[in-house]
Structure 1
Amino acid sequence: MIIPLADSDLLIKAPCSFLLIGPVREPFILFIETSTDEYCQHLIRGDLIAVSAPEGGDIRQAKLLLELVRTWHTPLVVLQSGHPGSGRLKMIVSAGDTISLNCSIQRGTHPEQTVICSSEELAGLSLHGLNGKVKISNLPSCAEILILNNDGTTRHYNKK
């Protein structure tokens, strides 16, 4: 399924979790910080920024995280595997042209931006940015797609 993003973001909502997806609107360097290294990832217009909420939560919080990266180019901090803070991360961010959801990884411990921790119900879903559109593969039947408007309201995505 390919969905145009235009000036809105997408919300993939499952019964207990969600994923917020927004397009990169201007090229920038995303800095990814670990305890020993710094990675620089060049993001271009049309790439994706995803915020995963494996336990659900407030969509406004996810929108803030999305904007911190998209608008303010806030660096991402990656924890070491086994870090006790990992379990306290309620939402996780990933960015790039392709992002896959995986429920068997530890939250916040992967500098690779091609994978993001998700709930079991959204695991296996994959996203690919296509110049102002997003290709969604392996959408589970329990999930619905909503358009998140700039004013915070949502509407169902109508497949034509």
Structure 2
Amino acid sequence: MLTELPLAPDEVLFLCGNTGVVGLAKFARKGSIFMGTPDLEEIAIFLGEEDLIAVSAFDTGPTVEKGIKSMIYLLREMGAPLVVLPDGHPTSRRLPLVVSCGEMVRLDCQIQPGTHPEQDILCACDDLSGIKINATTNGIEIKGTQVNWKKIKL
């Protein structure tokens, strides 16, 4: 199934699963986000206006949505860096949110949260796993199973 949805720079689109949520927003400008890796490197991820910030949460509800909106603000407006944990790191299971940035992201429930420097894959809850999201000029394109969604202003 293919779904195309418009997404304005001042909106967040929430893909809603039973046990988790993924929030999507446009980067809305040209710039970069820095990512710290387990190899003690810092990598610059260069993003354009149409690129996506995808934030995955392993819970649901209004508090989670506020957390996702806050994470988008921290990345977009304050330049907060992404941090990638080493594979098997015990803190991984305590992460309430994980992030991916770029033109495309695949959601996968079979990966360990926070340990993947590849920005085209993001840990998500079981019922959102397998969905592929592409940035488009006017919004996003979702490939995969049909999913409940809603949009709100940032």
TM-score, shorter chain, exceeding 0.5: yes
Q: 1:60 aligns to what SS in structure 2?
A: helix
Q: Which amino acid aligns with 1:86?
A: S
Higher relative contact order (CA 8 A, sep 6+): 2
1:122 has 2:119 as partner:
no
CA drift of 1:35 comes to 2.9
Stretches of 4+ aligned residues off by more than 3 angstroms: none
TM-score (norm 2): 0.91
CA drift of 1:16 comes to 1.7
Q: 2:68 aligns to what SS in structure 1?
A: helix
1:144 to 133, 148, 153: 148
Q: Which amino acid aligns with 1:48?
A: L
Give the count of matched residue pairs. 148
Equivalent pair of 1:12/1:145 in contact (CA under 8 Å)? yes
Aligned to 2:26: 23
Equivalent pair of 1:104/1:117 in contact (CA under 8 Å)? yes
Q: 1:15 aligns to what SS in structure 2?
A: coil
Aligned to 2:7: 5
Cα separation, 2, equivalents of 1:35 and 1:123: 25
Q: Please list the CA deviations of residues 108-159 of structure 1 after superposition, one character each: whole Å capped at 9, or x if unmatched.
A: 000111000011110001110012310011134xx31101123xxxxxxxxx
Uncovered stretches (5+) of structure 1, i.e. residues with no partner: 151-160
1:108 has 2:108 as partner:
no
1:46 to 25, 45, 50: 50
Cα separation, 1, equivalents of 2:57 and 2:82: 16
TM-score (norm 1): 0.88
Identical aligned residues as a percent:
32
For the aligned residues, what is the CA RMSD? 1.2
